[in-house]
Amino acid sequence: MKRLIFVLCAMLFTSMTAVSQGLSKQAPQGFDVMKTDIPHGKIDTIVYHSSTVETSRKALVYTPPGYSKKKKYPVLYLLHGIGGDEYAWQKNGHMQNILDNLYAEKKVEPMIVVMPNGRAMKDDRPVGNIFDKDKVEAFATFEKDLLSDLIPYIEKNYPAMKDRKHRALAGLSMGGGQSLNFGLGHLDKFAWVGGFSSAPNTKEPEVLVPNPEKAKKQLKLLWISCGDQDNLITFSKRTHDYLVAHHVPHIYHVVPGGHHDFEVWKDNLYMFSQLLFKPVPSAVFFRK
């Protein structure tokens, strides 16, 4: 009987699309439009000292409607792509509208969202040739900046919960690769990880998850997603295939007709955020 239960559970985690009670397969129309008749969160710009880069760096911080310094909050670190900066999710992803609307519908847990510049170098602007070697390498350097500089700043200056169970890391494209690389590489720091249309900077799955048993025990949620019209889907699929082969629970969400753009990434944020910092519903099921 125990073996039968194990097999059935393993089967639940081997598919492509996740659907749960109260969680849509796709974001509804108007989900990213600002509504004037609901409470709104606030976005502030912070400046923190980066010992990694040896300069001051900026990030945006979204605090939810009803935010209070007397309350403790989990934190989502939300990363941009190779052509973006700390403003990308605000300007192009309308993240504040997405989350404000979800809060109004009581579909998300109150959380702080930090949007840093993932290009850890002194001149971190997305100007000139964004594919220059030094600019690409700066995305890898951000791992140290995130862990050694940004997270300590947030946890010192905001009422943030300081344990791995209350930290999430997710991003789009280059930021998706960063999220998988850094999140899965530091399971002692993050329990919630999401890669949206992850780029070629994504490490091979054997490197991402060298110890599947450890990942099973420590991950609360691993979200892998990409549009089916995106040429980069091979990087998401190879990770998914490896996770399936090693029975690591995860959600693999393929967006029908989806390209490498914010329509896909906004859809991902809408669904991913609803699962964060609470038990993943038992009603979640997977299908091929």
Residue 264 covered by a domain: yes
Residue 4 covered by a domain: no
Residue 175 covered by a domain: yes
Residue 23 covered by a domain: no
Residue 219 is part of a domain; what is its CATH number?
3.40.50.1820
Which residues of the chain carry a pLDDT beneath 50? 1-23, 285-288
Cβ atoms of residues 218 and 246 within 8 Å: no
Residue 32 covered by a domain: no
Q: Please report the pLDDT score of residue 1 as a whole number.
A: 41
State pLDDT tens for residues 32-49.
999 999 999 999 999 999
Half-sphere exposure of residue 144: CA atoms within 13 angstroms, side-chain side: 11
Q: Is the dihedral of CA 132, 88, 119, 44 positive or negative?
A: positive
Number of domains in the chain: 1
Q: Please report the pLDDT score of residue 143 as a whole number.
A: 98
* Domain encompassing residue 80: 42-279
pTM for the structure as a whole: 0.91
Q: Please report the pLDDT score of residue 200 as a whole number.
A: 97
- Read off the DSSP letter of residue 71: S
Residue 118 covered by a domain: yes
Residue 196 covered by a domain: yes
Q: Please report the pLDDT score of residue 280 as a whole number.
A: 84
Separation CA 122–CA 54 (nearest Å):
8
Q: Please report the pLDDT score of residue 284 as a whole number.
A: 57
Residue 129 covered by a domain: yes
